């Protein structure tokens, strides 16, 4: 039985060592070395080609290297192949740090001070207590819930929105299309941590963003495809929104002449909110292979018909 790995070579080196030490019964191969495609039962990849998938007749599980799976072309994947997203502590820790950093930056007016600095203007803004700054998270999955938990000690009133109903201590939860307007109305800072699916593409648009309170700000750490760019620019320029921190764009990299780069109220980072950590991810993968062998549910299995 072989796991075929097709991603970053440095991570691959670490994974190979961990598999050799902790799962020696699972062969580890990358496509550049001799291997028997008929022995490959597991594929770990970010964006495997249709040709690669077609060359693996006994593939059972496609493991995503990251938390997202929107990069997979499910139409080219045989229906029996299970798809698993990455849930590992390194990704969660990175996202928690980034979301906390961006939330605090917006809460403490960093965008206004950056604009003022550009004009050599000493211009203090009255401090709003955290208890009066409402933060809402779209997507109450692994990452959304971790972010809410990390923000709780600051004292922000917290809310969340998801597809199905949730109950989370200290968080006002809303669900589905029916709950969206009420959720948005109570977000001074909105964090998008949704997966990109047919149902969520373009969800950050004029209709939704204009339901945020005047002066609200956006953090998009989901996917660039969630955001309708022109709607964000218009709402910033009209003063309805006060700023945006965008870690993801469409396309990536963001072209050099894109208006987001120079916009004084937008902070761009190059899709670095979190990154898969090699050692913890390898161990998560081995644990999932063991669950599969034992006929147990997999951690992070995607419902293929739902898209996440
Ligand atoms: P999960 O699958 O654990 O959670 C997804 C959440 O989104 C669930 O709460 C789900 O609702 C909700 N959701 C899905 N579709 C809808 C919908 N149509 N309407 C309302 N809510 C919906 O994902 P993760 O938390 O692990 O990851 C979220 C995303 O974060 C990833 O898909 C990826 O795009 C992004 N990401 C970005 C990174 C970066 O560096 N910028 C790094 C890692 C991830 P329900 O609970 O009801 O099922
Ligand atoms: C992921 C990402 O999905 O880095 O893991 O975006």
What pLDDT digit, counting tens, does each position of 49-70 carry? 999 999 999 999 999 999 999 9
What pLDDT digit, counting tens, does each position of 130-176 carry? 999 999 999 999 999 999 999 999 999 999 999 999 999 999 999 99
The atom number, within ligand 1, closest to the CA of 85 reads 26
| β-strand partners of 191 | 137, 219
Task: Answer yes or no: is the C-beta of 224 below 6 A from any ligand 2 atom.
Answer: no
Q: Is 223 a catalytic residue?
A: yes
- CA–CA separation, 126 vs 294, rounded Å? 59
Among candidate residues 107, 134, 223, 226, the one labeled active-site is: 223
**Predicted pLDDT of residue 281:** 98
Contact residues of ligand 1, CB 6 A cut-off: 66-68, 91, 95, 139-144, 162-164, 193-197, 199-200, 221-223, 247-248, 271, 273-274, 308
Question: For 108-228, where are the alpha helices, taking DSSP H only?
Answer: 110-118, 142-151, 176-185, 206-209
Report the nearest-CA residue for atom 2 of ligand 2.
66
How much is the average pLDDT of 104-123?
Answer: 98
The atom number, within ligand 1, closest to the CA of 197 reads 15
**Predicted pLDDT of residue 3:** 97
Sorting pLDDT into bands at 50, 70 and 90, what band is 180? very high
From the CA of 95, the nearest ligand is 1
- CA–CA separation, 189 vs 106, rounded Å? 8
- CA–CA separation, 279 vs 282, rounded Å? 5
Question: What domains sit in the chain, N to C, each tagged with a CATH number?
Answer: 2-88+276-293 (3.40.50.720), 90-268 (3.40.50.720)
- At which residue do the structure tokens 């949704």 appear? 194
Question: Residue 256: CB partners within 8 Å, gap ≥ 6?
Answer: none
Sorting pLDDT into bands at 50, 70 and 90, what band is 244? very high
Question: Residue 306: CB partners within 8 Å, gap ≥ 6?
Answer: 197
- CA–CA separation, 264 vs 112, rounded Å? 9
- At which residue do the structure tokens 């699972």 appear? 26
Percent of the chain surpassing pLDDT 70: 100
Query: Can you count the helices (H) and strands (E) in the chain?
Result: 10, 12
Instruction: Report how far ligand 2's centroid is from the alpha carbon of 274 (Å).
Output: 7
Task: Answer yes or no: is the C-beta of 281 below 6 A from any ligand 2 atom.
Answer: no
Q: To the nearest whole number, what is the mean pLDDT of the chain? A: 97
| Phi then psi dihedrals of residue 32, to 5 deg | -80, -10
- CA–CA separation, 176 vs 78, rounded Å? 30
The atom number, within ligand 1, closest to the CA of 306 reads 15
């Amino acid at each position: 039985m072989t796991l075929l790995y097709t991603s970053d070579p440095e991570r691959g080196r670490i994974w190979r060592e961990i598999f050799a030490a902790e799962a020696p019964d699972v062969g580890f191969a990358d496509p550049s070395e001799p291997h028997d495609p008929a022995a490959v039962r597991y594929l770990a990849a970010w964006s495997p080609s249709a040709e690669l998938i077609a060359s693996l007749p006994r593939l059972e599980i496609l493991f995503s290297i990251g938390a997202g799976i929107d990069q997979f072309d499910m139409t080219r994947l045989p229906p029996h192949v299970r798809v698993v997203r990455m849930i590992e502590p390194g990704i969660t820790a990175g996202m928690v740090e980034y979301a906390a950093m961006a939330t605090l930056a917006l809460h403490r007016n960093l965008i206004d001070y950056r604009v003022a600095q550009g004009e050599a203007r000493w211009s203090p803004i009255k401090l709003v207590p955290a208890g009066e700054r409402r933060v809402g998270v779209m997507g109450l999955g692994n990452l959304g819930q971790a972010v809410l938990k990390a923000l709780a000690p600051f004292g922000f009133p917290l809310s969340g929105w998801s597809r199905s109903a949730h109950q989370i201590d200290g968080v006002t939860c809303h669900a589905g299309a029916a709950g969206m307007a009420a959720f948005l109305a109570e977000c001074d800072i909105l964090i998008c941590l949704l997966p990109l699916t047919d149902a969520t593409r373009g969800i950050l648009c004029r209709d939704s963003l204009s339901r945020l309170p005047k002066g609200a700000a956006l953090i998009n750490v989901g996917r660039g495809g969630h955001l309708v760019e022109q709607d964000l620019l218009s709402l910033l320029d009209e003063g309805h929104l006060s700023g945006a921190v965008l870690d993801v764009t469409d396309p990536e990299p963001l072209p050099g002449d894109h208006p987001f780069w120079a916009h004084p109220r937008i902070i761009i980072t190059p899709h670095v909110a979190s990154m898969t950590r090699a050692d913890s991810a390898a161990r998560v993968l081995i644990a999932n292979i063991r669950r599969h062998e034992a006929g147990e549910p997999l951690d992070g299995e995607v419902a293929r018909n739902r898209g996440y």
